[in-house]
Amino acid sequence: METTTSSSHSRRRNVLEHSLHGITETLEHALFAEEISARAGLFQSLDARVKVISTLALLISVSFSRSLWVIASIYLLTLFFAWTSAIPADYLIKRVWLALPFFTGLIVVPALFITPGPALLHLPLGLVITTTGVTTVLFLLLRVSTSVSLTLLLILTTPWNTVLSALSVLRLPDVLILILGMTYRYIYLLLHTANDMFLSRKSRMVGHLSTSENQRVLAAISGALLSKSLNLSSQIYLAMESRGFRGSIITLKPFKMKAKDWLWLAIFLGIAALSIFLGR
């Protein structure tokens, strides 16, 4: 879901500003994510491995389901779990549905009309909405919104590094876990750097740039960012090497399953299995 898309009338003038805005939005958005994972709630108290496995299982069951009711039920359940996990009631809904209409919603509108099937509704311009069209649209919208909500629930209630540790339980190679952790951390550094570069460019500017000038500015910022990335990686490697890194990675796995975790794992896997069965 692209939440940073600008409206067309301001796009030409404010390319720099929109990149700036998008970047700042990302920063705030991430801060919010960490805040929720610190609250006391159902999901926050569960073992991260349970959450990762359950989220995957539920995603797969949503993907497999051929029944609208099953998918809708899982969506409602997700909202319920979000509510018990100290996520503001409207947050999850807004995050998904405010973005959804602009991407998925727009794509599928023609499907209402062109999918062959019995007519449901006759519209003024000679257009006909078919029942199969409506069903298809509902399938897509529900699947997308449920999947995104499930993923959001996992990410909002679990700090990123904890998610990575849990992923390593799923036999993801340790080198990837290390890279993912470092990438996450350095995204923030690079975003700050890019933000500063945009700001400094903007603050030396009066009036508007032509398209090609804008392109050059963005390309120069990208190029500078690339050089910084290469430089930084060099320094980081030297820092790692001087602290004993020789290529092998050891991760801490601080998880311990409590009875509660086993219970909820069974519940989630049960829901997933039931959904696949009912929705086949």
Partner 1 sequence: MFTQSKRVKLLVIYYGALLLWLSTTAMHIPDGYLSPITCLIMFLIALPFWIIGIRKIREKLNARSVPLIALLSAFSFVIMMFNFPIPGGTSAHAIGATIAAIILGPEPATIVVSIALLIQALFFGDGGITAYGANCFNMAIAVPYIAYAIYSAFSKNQGLTSKRRLVGAFVGGWTGVTVAAFFAGVEFGIQPLLFKTVNGTPLYAPYPLSISIPAMVIPHALIASVAEGILAALVVAYLQRSNISVLEAAEKPAILAEASGMQKLRALWVVLGVLIIASPLGLLAPGTAWGEWGTQELNSRGITSIPIGLQKLSGLWGAPFANYNLPALGNVNLGYIFSAVTGIVIIAIVVWLFSMLLTAGSGVKKKDLG
Which residues in the 10-39 window bind partner 1 by CB under 8 A?
11-12, 15, 18-19, 22-23, 26, 29-30, 33
Judged by CB under 8 A, the chain residues 73 through 102 that form the site for partner 1 are 95
How crowded is residue 51: how many other Cβ atoms within 10 Å of its Cβ? 24
Q: If we measure between CA atoms, which residue out of 112, 111, 110, 102 comes closest to residue 144?
A: 102
1 binds partner 1 (CB under 8 A): yes
251 binds partner 1 (CB under 8 A): no
Judged by CB under 8 A, the chain residues 197 through 236 that form the site for partner 1 are 211-212, 214-216, 218-227, 229-236
Q: Long-range contacts for 192-195 (Cβ within 8 Å, ≥24 apart)?
A: 192/27, 193/225, 193/228, 194/19, 194/23, 194/221, 194/225, 195/20, 195/23, 195/24, 195/27
Phi, psi dihedrals of residue 129, rounded to the nearest 5°: -90, 130
117 binds partner 1 (CB under 8 A): yes
116 binds partner 1 (CB under 8 A): yes
- Determine the Cα–Cα distance for residues 246 and 26; give it in Å rounded to an integer: 34
Q: Stretches 42-50, 78-86, 141-149, 258-266: which one binds partner 1 (CB under 8 A)?
A: 141-149
The residue to which tokens 């190029």 are assigned? 223
Among 36, 48, 57, 62, binds partner 1 (CB under 8 A): 62
| 185-204 footprint of partner 1 as x/- string (CB under 8 A) | -xx-xxx--x----------
72 binds partner 1 (CB under 8 A): no
Number of residues that bind partner 1 (CB under 8 A): 102
57 binds partner 1 (CB under 8 A): no
- Whether the CB-CB separation of 153 and 43 falls below 8 Å is answered with yes
143 binds partner 1 (CB under 8 A): yes
